[in-house]
Amino acid sequence: MINRLNTPYSYNAGEQTCVNGVANNWNSKKKCMVDLKVAMNSHFDAHQKEKCCYCGLYYDRTGRGELEHIAPKGANHYPQFTFTPFNLAKACQLCNSSSMKHTYNSISILHPIYENCRFSIVHPYLDNYNDHYQWNYGILNVLITVNNNSPKGIESIKLFELASEKRTRARAIQRNQERLENLYNITTNVKKRIKDAITKL
């Protein structure tokens, strides 16, 4: 139900020049930064299929999709990883909210090389979800439990409230929708109408 990400954003030469020029300032108002964020949003929407990197639900189930720093970028956290491709993904508004991830310190052991850091949650790119989660599929609920007594699985389920009734029901609705789409090879237009109708439930 939650898919591992395998396509981080790749900067072109102009974007890399822009990144170097803003010196880790994610909030820069330079036009090149505005353009970069538009390109990133499009990239993640396509490669994540508009699903949150943490809960696997469509963004619009919980508000909207937001560009996300897996290790927080703030001055008191990890500004050095602000533009690191493996640190960027897209999350739903709920998972990225102040009551869940927001500025949560996801690194348990810091290393100068991002991929060698130890993370306290299941990492969207670096971890195999099946090592940390197990699924029990039902028509009305899709339940999640910890696999292998994984500390990362335990922490992620708790932080993102993945085992809550609301989330288990939302996963079942989404799974049923996707199975129908695949079974009947439904067009994009009809998919949008189904998605809109289900979202109102």
Which sequence spans correspond to the domains of the chain?
A: 13-199
Global confidence as pTM: 0.86
Confidence of residue 74 (pLDDT cuts 50, 70, 90): confident
By C-alpha distance, which of 11, 10, 9 is closest to 32? 11
pLDDT, tens digit (0-9, with 9 covering 90-100), for 19-62: 999 988 999 999 999 999 999 999 999 999 999 999 999 987 76
Q: Over 70: is that where the pLDDT of 190 sits? A: no
Nearest residue to 78 (alpha-carbon basis) of 38, 98, 43, 108: 108
Q: Which two tokens stand for residue 100?
A: 């869940």
